[in-house]
Chains A and B, each alone.
Chain A
């Protein structure tokens, strides 16, 4: 069994079977991470460059750790400290790095579609670590992995994605993935942060009332308000947003079931999620981070193979 794709550009391109293979492989890597020696030699002949044109803590550390656990050689690249600030183009930057014999590229970029552009022009396998407001496929996969681990299934699961849907690549990857795996999805948030076309485009529910969305779901995936991507005023203040769409323990306790709280990080504490909810026993936020390494190992492992040895 092999993946149907050569790159991981987005969940949109994956088949249901691809997702299944990645999640199952990640389960085995999670076991590897519990061993006394948390490392396997699978990718010891592979060199991976992490190209981060945008800030990141979790994703970057998670990818780096995944690469090291697979015994790959990894190089880190930060746009601000590179020749990009001298005016070098994306393609030139990448081609220069590839000429030093790099096999795979992990890239985060603020422009949607940047990894798709690269995939057309370079021979290396590309893993999208987030492109603009398009997709963040490994986050979608680790969210699904965490849901499956916590609740045992994805099929038929009710997932509410709450907050800034408009600017969220995490939301896009989650929606694609959950729909492919047969889960039910509701997006909830203020009307200004939910794209109009989303209901028909993805066959999902839209809910403007937070409590109703929470009452309906098994899992609430709470998103960060992406102030850096909003170039117009979409709600009057963070305080107002938090009053209408912030989740706290009191709200969770008022529901008649215990739902699971997820967040892709970084959390704006007190805005979309209060500390008492984020740190409660209903939250699996730190498990998501832990699972991220196993999921990224699976992706890198599955995309690394099948090359002809020259």
Chain B
């Protein structure tokens, strides 16, 4: 087991990602943030906190998307869904999708399909905490990356969160 990010590094990266996203989306009127269930929302919840401090909080539109019904492996294993809560229209908006680990790209593929059922966004960007590069199975790349790591298939990246696991760090198993 190797620690990739400790608690302090994690907090700094979350701040950096928030600044980067905001830098490219100065006018929040046309931007919405969507965290991907179940684990992406831990990243997005924290980023939204930072963004609300940096910009006018009432302008920040934030939702959560569950992609269970759009998975391509539904025949192998049935997954019980999580909550989807998108209390705004995504029509013509810049959507920033936020997830914790980008690996094969299949989750993001499903998220894009799910997102289109809510409307036609002007643009979709992807923000991930960890990018397991060179292991993609679909042509999907992040716009904002917390940390890129090289890993092999048999390895696992695990992200721990205070709210759920009592500690905050990213490890490679």
Contacts and interface: CB of A to CB of B under 8 A. Distances in A.
A interacts with B: yes
Contact of A24 (B75, B80, B113): B80
A87 interface: no
Contacts, number: 59
B77 A28 contact: no
A301 interface: yes
Task: State the majority secondary structure of interface residues on B.
Answer: loop
B115 to A, nearest CB: 11
B165 interface: no
Interface residues of A, number: 25
Contacts of A39: 117
A195 interface: no
Contact of B74 (A27, A35, A42): A42
B80 A309 contact: no
B70 A302 contact: no
A38 to B, nearest CB: 8
Interface in B72-107: 74-78, 80-85
B81 A28 contact: yes
Contacts of A302: 78, 80
B32 to A, nearest CB: 15
Interface residues of B, number: 21
Interface in A289-310: 301-302, 304-307, 309
Interface string A5-26: 0000000000000000100110
A2 B78 contact: yes
A17 to B, nearest CB: 11
A32 B78 contact: no
Given A35-B117, A36-B117, A42 B80 contact: no
B134 interface: no
Given A35-B117, A45-B75, A305-B74, A21 B80 contact: yes
A24 B75 CA distance: 20
A76 to B, nearest CB: 24
B78 A305 contact: yes
Contacts of A92: none
A309 B70 contact: no
A21 B82 CA distance: 11
Contacts of A41: 69-70, 113
B120 to A, nearest CB: 10
A40 interface: yes
B118 A40 contact: no
Which of B80, B82, B83: most chain A CB closer than 10 A?
Answer: B80
Interface in A132-161: none
B119 A36 contact: yes
B66 interface: yes
B82 A306 contact: no
Contacts of B85: 31
Interface string B113-128: 1001111000000000
Nearest to A41: B70
Given A36-B117, A40-B70, A1 B80 contact: yes
Given A36-B118, A42-B74, 15 more contacts: A24-B80, A27-B83, A28-B81, A28-B84, A31-B85, A32-B84, A36-B117, A39-B117, A40-B69, A40-B117, A41-B113, A42-B71, A302-B78, A305-B77, A306-B78
Interface of B: 66, 68-71, 74-78, 80-85, 113, 116-119
Interface of A: 1-2, 21, 24-25, 27-28, 31-32, 35-37, 39-43, 45, 301-302, 304-307, 309
Which 6 residue pairs of A and B lie closest in terms of their CB atoms, listed nearest first?
Answer: A305-B78, A40-B69, A37-B117, A28-B81, A42-B69, A1-B80
